[in-house]
């Protein structure tokens, strides 16, 4: 769009910045493009003069400045200068050269999965910095995210909506933000925590991946209803992104991951330039050339074109750790301190974390994190020194005997007492207990000298979660104590150090949808059952892939099966096999007296054993090719 020039009688200087043109305008002010003495471009937010006649308006703008200077980070842009005492107050942020996410998707289509992962990582870092400053964005939407050459940038923090309120104050419980990207608690006017921003992030990532808001409906009212009461539509979301996005979109904020968990689940992404599609990279480069030419012209006052929309992507960034004003360092410190008090007291758009009405939720791990947890080390860390005296278990876990179980869990024993922990385990045999553990609804089963308790953490196919079983007693108090300790300490749970182990492998990612479609299609991209170490897809027959840790003698009676290409698997002997199922086992590597193995099972009609084995063999060959190199 064309950027409007300055009026003939308007000043060409604000502070020490040469004004080049008007980027956009809104109800509370306008945004100007400026150039500093060193040539750096800035976005200058300048309030409308007539608003200064309203009582308290300048003070509210001062609070916005103070809030803007609280946050710093690589994926936000710094406030570089401001003057709250000027005749017309202003705030200058470093100008970010980028394409708004909503425009990028609208003009060039959904982002590919690697680009969405890069977007998720950058956004998680930005939110982590925002939340670490004790703030909540509350208006995270595609228009407030710029795609730049080196990653995304979060812009336009929600305080602008506070100062536009005609009363100047937002009552506790009022809903601020963009409706389609609100969290359920935000639509209902409930107290918010950092988890609200995580939900908005999930909606934003789904839109980036599909081009469609997962809660979109024919009317605004129905959209809000869907956000608050229904599950998101993730059918079009690529499988490799679905768990991440679905985790963010849990209606219960307790079930959403923290930003730290999101970053851990994403892992280390490839370095280098941001992986945006070529048309977006070209648009960024073209804008850079245009702006460089304008900034270099000492007589320039108008920007000829700009990728973005007024009052939207062109709003100044108010999220970074600011330089203090060169003229009023002490005054700013006092203003910032007073602003924090004012914001905390009001409970308004910028919400202090830890507000008594909205305690921080218990963070819930992703499936990938449970898969990569050293379960025995986690169990020892979680309960050491805290065991109830009447439990019969020593408080010092050094007296417990622990070993890894076949399903990558942990088995602990002390005297006659036995305990098992299975992270990411299927919970299909458990029923709701009506109770909670660490704020999470529990499932369970008890009887015959054994008690099992679990929390359902599934976000797609399931249920799966953390399963704790104890014996020889039907008393579930100790079981729930252990489960509670694990949940509360999961963010610091030790991770597996053996990168080659099958324990950390996502078996769902070993098989492509195209292969499954060719073998047993039509097959939906989403598996029908998922847990930490298995995946199942139904079609003309049903394929299940899983990994486990087994004692070597368990394979003694099995027969060799030639997979071709020098690869061999084991299959059940003719005396024990079923004609409606073919199960092939690939011995991946030996660890001590145990064998890490990958299993592929295909179930179908009676009498189709050979056909089912052809399918199992094709899937297993493909999966083996994706495994890490065994030690």
Short-list 616, 502, 583, 619, CA closest to 549: 502
Which residues are CB-contacts of 403 (< 8 A; sequence separation ≥ 6)?
Answer: 376, 410, 411
Burial of 394 (0-12, 13-18, 19+ CB in 10 A): middle
Q: Hey, what's the torsion of the CAs at 566, 569, 572, 578, to 10 degrees?
A: -90
129 Rama sector, left if φ>0, alpha if ψ -120 to 50, beta otherwise: alpha
Strand order in the sheet with 90-94: 13-14, 17-25, 29-35, 41-47, 90-94, 79-83
Closest C-alpha among 234, 229, 231 to residue 244? 234
Return the DSSP state at 309: -
Distances (CA, A) of 73 to 42, 475, 597: 17, 49, 43
Q: Are 322 and 69 in contact (CB under 8 A)?
A: yes
Q: Cis omega before residue 463 (within 30°)?
A: yes
8 A C-beta contact, residue 168 and residue 157: no
Q: Read off the DSSP letter of residue 527.
A: -
**Residue 403: its H or E element:** strand 401-404
Q: Taken in order 307, 213, 30, 137, is the CA torsion positive or negative?
A: negative
Residue in 251, 254, 196, 258 with CA at minimum distance from that of residue 440: 254
- Across 279-289, b (16+ Cβ under 10 Å) vs e yields ebbebbeebee
Give me the residue label for tokens 């929600």. Answer: 158
| Residue 139 designated active-site | yes
From CA 348, how far away is CA 346, in angstroms rounded? 5
Backbone angles phi, psi at 265, to 5 degrees: -65, -35
**Rounded Cα–Cα distance for residues 597 and 499 (Å):** 15
Question: What's the farthest any 2 CA atoms get from each other in the chain?
Answer: 96
Of 81, 102, 139, 506, the catalytic one is: 139
Strand order in the sheet with 567-571: 529-531, 534-538, 542-551, 594-603, 581-591, 567-571, 559-564
| Sequence-ordered list of residues with C-beta below 8 angstroms from that of 400, at least 6 positions apart, any chain | 380, 393, 394, 412, 413, 414
Q: Mind telling me the catalytic residues?
A: 139
């Amino acid at each position: 769009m064309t950027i409007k020039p300055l009026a003939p009688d308007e000043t060409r200087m604000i502070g020490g910045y040469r004004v080049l043109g008007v980027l956009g305008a809104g109800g509370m002010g306008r945004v100007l493009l400026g150039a500093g003495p060193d040539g750096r471009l800035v976005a200058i937010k300048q309030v409308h003069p007539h608003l200064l006649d309203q009582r308290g308006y300048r003070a509210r703008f001062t609070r916005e400045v103070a809030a803007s200077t609280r946050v710093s980070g690589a994926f936000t842009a710094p406030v570089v200068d401001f003057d709250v005492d000027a005749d017309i107050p202003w705030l200058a942020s470093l100008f970010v050269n980028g394409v708004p996410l909503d425009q990028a998707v609208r003009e060039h289509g959904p982002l590919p999965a690697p680009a969405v992962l890069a977007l998720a990582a950058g956004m998680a870092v930005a939110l982590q910095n925002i939340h670490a400053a004790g703030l909540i964005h509350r208006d995270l939407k595609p228009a407030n995210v710029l795609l730049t050459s080196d990653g995304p940038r979060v812009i336009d923090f929600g305080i602008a909506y506070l100062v536009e309120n005609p009363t100047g104050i937002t009552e506790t419980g009022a809903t601020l933000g963009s409706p389609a990207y609100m969290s359920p608690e935000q639509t209902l006017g409930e107290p918010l925590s950092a988890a609200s921003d995580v939900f908005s992030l999930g909606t934003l990532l789904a839109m980036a991946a599909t081009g469609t808001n997962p809660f979109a409906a024919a009317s605004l009212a129905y959209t809000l209803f869907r956000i608050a009461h229904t599950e998101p539509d993730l059918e079009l979301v690529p499988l490799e992104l679905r768990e991440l996005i679905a985790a963010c979109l849990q209606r219960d904020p307790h079930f959403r991951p923290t930003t730290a968990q999101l970053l851990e689940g994403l892992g280390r992404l490839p370095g280098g330039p941001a992986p945006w599609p070529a048309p977006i990279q070209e648009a960024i480069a073209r804008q850079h050339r245009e702006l460089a030419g304008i900034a270099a012209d000492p007589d320039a006052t108008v920007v000829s074109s700009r990728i973005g929309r007024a009052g939207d992507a062109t709003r100044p960034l108010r999220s970074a750790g600011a330089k203090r004003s060169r003229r009023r360092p002490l005054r700013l410190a006092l203003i910032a301190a007073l602003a924090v008090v004012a914001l905390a007291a009001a409970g308004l758009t910028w919400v202090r974390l830890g507000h008594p009405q909205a305690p921080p939720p218990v963070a819930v791990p992703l499936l990938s994190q449970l898969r990569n947890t050293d379960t025995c080390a986690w169990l020892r860390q979680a309960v050491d020194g805290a065991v109830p005296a009447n439990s019969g278990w020593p408080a010092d876990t050094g007296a417990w005997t622990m070993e890894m179980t076949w399903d990558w869990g942990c088995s602990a024993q002390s005297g006659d007492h036995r305990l098992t922990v299975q992270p990411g385990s299927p919970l299909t045999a458990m029923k709701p207990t009506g109770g909670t553990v660490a704020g999470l609804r529990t499932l369970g089963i008890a009887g015959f000298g054994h008690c099992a308790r679990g929390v359902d953490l599934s976000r797609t196919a399931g249920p799966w979660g953390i399963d704790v079983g104890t014996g020889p007693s039907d008393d579930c108090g100790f079981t729930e104590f252990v489960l509670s300790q694990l949940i509360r300490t999961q963010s610091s749970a030790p991770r597996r150090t053996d990168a080659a182990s099958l324990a950390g492998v996502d078996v769902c990612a070993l098989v492509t949808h195209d292969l499954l479609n060719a073998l047993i299609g039509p097959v939906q991209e989403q598996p029908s059952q998922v847990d930490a170490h298995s995946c199942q897809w139904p079609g003309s027959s049903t394929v299940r892939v899983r990994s486990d840790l087994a004692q070597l003698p368990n394979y003694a009676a099995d027969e060799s099966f030639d997979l071709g290409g020098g690869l061999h698997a084991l299959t059940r002997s003719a005396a024990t096999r079923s004609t409606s199922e073919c199960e092939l086992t690939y011995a991946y590597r030996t660890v001590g007296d145990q064998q890490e193995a990958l299993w592929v099972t295909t179930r179908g009609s009676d009498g189709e054993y050979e056909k089912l084995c052809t399918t199992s063999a094709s899937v297993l060959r493909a999966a083996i090719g994706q495994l890490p190199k065994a030690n």
